[in-house]
């Protein structure tokens, strides 16, 4: 009997990044993208009841509600959902 895949909600303001991450998740048998994607923290919070993710993969910098605030809210309101923050910097240092 196989366990159900880990459901991941992708939260990033860049549509290309969201699609790319979803494609990468498709490769893994034990992981699946949750239904829908969110472009900011507020949209992610509104999606949680229907998306039912186990993990939120969250960009640190987003408009309206950034990833840090979203993770804070997830911790308070949805403690069963794990969060992973993604970030990139142009500065090598």
Q: What is the pLDDT of residues 7-50, one digit of tens each?
A: 999 999 999 999 999 998 889 888 888 887 899 999 999 999 89
- Calculate mean pLDDT across residues 74-80: 93
Domain layout of the chain by residue ranges: 6-86
For 53, counting Cβ atoms within 10 Å of its Cβ (0-12 exposed, 13-18 middle, 19+ buried), the class is buried
pLDDT attached to residue 71: 94
- Distance in angstroms (rounded) separating the CA atoms of residues 86 and 30: 20
- Distance in angstroms (rounded) separating the CA atoms of residues 25 and 42: 23
- Which CATH architecture best describes the domain 6-86? 3-Layer(aba) Sandwich (3.40)
pTM for the whole thing? 0.86
Two tokens, residue 91: 């500065």
């Amino acid at each position: 009997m196989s366990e159900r895949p880990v459901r991941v909600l992708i939260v990033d303001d860049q549509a290309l990044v969201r699609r790319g991450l979803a494609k990468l998740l498709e490769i893994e048998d034990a992981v699946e993208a949750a239904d829908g994607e969110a472009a900011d923290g507020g949209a992610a919070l509104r999606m949680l009841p229907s998306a039912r993710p186990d993990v939120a993969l969250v960009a640190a910098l987003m408009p309206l509600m950034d990833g840090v605030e979203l993770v804070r809210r997830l911790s308070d309101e949805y403690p069963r959902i794990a969060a992973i923050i993604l970030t990139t910097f142009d500065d090598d240092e």
